[in-house]
């Protein structure tokens, strides 16, 4: 049974923000505002880069739909502010958000639960030598991936094909983050799988297989071209898709995510073993975004998806009878 739209109260869709993904967030947020309004919900765009978060309280907002991506929106910071303001919000809580945005921390948690993820080495800005950069190539082999530990949308990511390109890739990544993740490249199918819900009620949506031009699924091909193919149904054997969905649910629960998220996975073409890359706790909701695409394949419209996510808005520590938790 669908809730009465008025039961949500006044809803702020947090969008824009100050991260490198601001442009994408504005696109996501605009879509969400329009979708929620089409369902009779009193939704309003709210850009934390242009307005003080305190206005959420003084403006009478009852809950927030977080459509921010990257830093200051997906990393636990705005979640912490909303906890202090006592305004329920969508997506993962403070700790899960801060862990999931850090790809190195995510890997450590996955490995602690024996969940497969590509081998990696960490370099830190100002703390590595040319010899250490060379040693990364020796340890992980070529090709390999170099990327900032805490950015999304493939920003600052390089696929290194030869030794000569390694130094340039590290410099590009460290412009965006002090932590530089160097990762084994898994050659094979690239897939992604969204999750809706929380805890034991969480469910995996259909897997999407991504076929990008020359295998280059970068920022431009993610959002601004129509040459990337998104296959849903994914075309994988049923057993493989089910195994990926189960793996993604395990990762979602390992990081204590809630509400919704999307996990990216590579399937080794030789062994068909899936490897978890990362978990996005505030996925894109643009016209090119993958969660709406997967939901649509499961019979969930964009508008219904937005309402479904909004219904999950909670606090880590809800007040009890107006008192502190």
* Active site residue ranges: 21, 153, 223, 262, 264, 278, 280, 284
Running DSSP on this structure, what letter comes out for residue 150?
T
Running DSSP on this structure, what letter comes out for residue 125?
T
Q: What distance in Å separates the CA atoms of residue 130 and residue 324, rounded to the nearest whole number?
A: 52
Half-sphere exposure (Cβ direction) of 185: Cα atoms closer than 13 Å: 18
What kind and span of H or E run contains 192? strand 188-196
What burial class does residue 84 get, using C-beta atoms within 10 Å of its C-beta: 0-12 exposed, 13-18 middle, 19+ buried?
A: exposed
CA distances (Å), 240 to each of 211, 249, 271, in order?
17, 14, 12
Give every CB contact of residue 239 below 8 A, 6+ residues apart in sequence: none
Going by their DSSP bridges, the two strands 188-196 and 260-268 should be labelled as antiparallel
Indicate the SS3 state at residue 140.
Answer: helix
What burial class does residue 19 get, using C-beta atoms within 10 Å of its C-beta: 0-12 exposed, 13-18 middle, 19+ buried?
A: buried
The closest alpha carbon to 28, from 230, 222, 228, 311, belongs to 222
Q: What distance in Å separates the CA atoms of residue 22 and residue 27, rounded to the nearest whole number?
A: 9
* Phi, psi (deg, nearest 5) at residue 192: -140, 150
Is residue 207 within 8 A of residue 232, CB to CB? The reply is yes
What kind and span of H or E run contains 43? strand 43-46
């Amino acid at each position: 049974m669908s809730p009465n739209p008025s039961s949500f109260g006044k809803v702020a869709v947090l969008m824009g923000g100050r991260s490198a993904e601001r442009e994408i967030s504005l696109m996501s947020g605009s879509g969400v505002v329009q979708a929620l309004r089409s369902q009779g919900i009193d939704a309003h765009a709210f850009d934390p880069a242009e307005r003080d978060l305190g206005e959420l309280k003084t403006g009478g907002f009852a809950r927030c739909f977080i459509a921010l991506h990257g830093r200051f929106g997906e990393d636990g910071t705005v979640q912490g502010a909303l906890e202090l303001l006592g305004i329920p919000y969508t997506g993962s809580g403070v700790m899960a958000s801060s862990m999931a945005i850090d790809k190195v921390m995510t890997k450590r948690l996955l490995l602690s639960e024996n969940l497969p993820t590509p081998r990696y080495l960490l370099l830190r800005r100002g703390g590595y030598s040319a010899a250490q950069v060379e040693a990364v190539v020796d340890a992980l082999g070529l090709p390999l991936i170099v990327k900032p530990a805490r950015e999304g949308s493939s920003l600052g990511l390089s696929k290194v094909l030869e030794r000569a390109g390694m130094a340039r890739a590290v410099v590009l990544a460290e412009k965006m983050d002090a932590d530089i993740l160097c990762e084994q490249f898994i050659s094979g199918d690239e897939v992604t799988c969204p999750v809706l819900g929380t805890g034991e009620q969480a469910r995996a949506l259909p897997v999407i297989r991504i076929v990008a031009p020359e295998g280059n699924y970068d920022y431009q091909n993610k959002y601004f071209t129509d040459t990337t193919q998104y296959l849903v149904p994914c075309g994988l054997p049923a057993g493989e898709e089910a195994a990926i969905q189960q793996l993604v649910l395990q990762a979602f629960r390992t990081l204590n995510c809630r509400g919704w998220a999307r996990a990216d996975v590579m399937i080794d073409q030789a062994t068909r073993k899936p490897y978890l890359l990362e978990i996005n706790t505030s996925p894109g909701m643009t016209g090119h975004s993958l969660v709406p695409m997967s939901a649509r394949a499961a019979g969930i419209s964009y508008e219904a998806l937005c309402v479904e996510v909004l219904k999950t808005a909670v606090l880590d520590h809800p007040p009890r009878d107006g008192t502190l938790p």
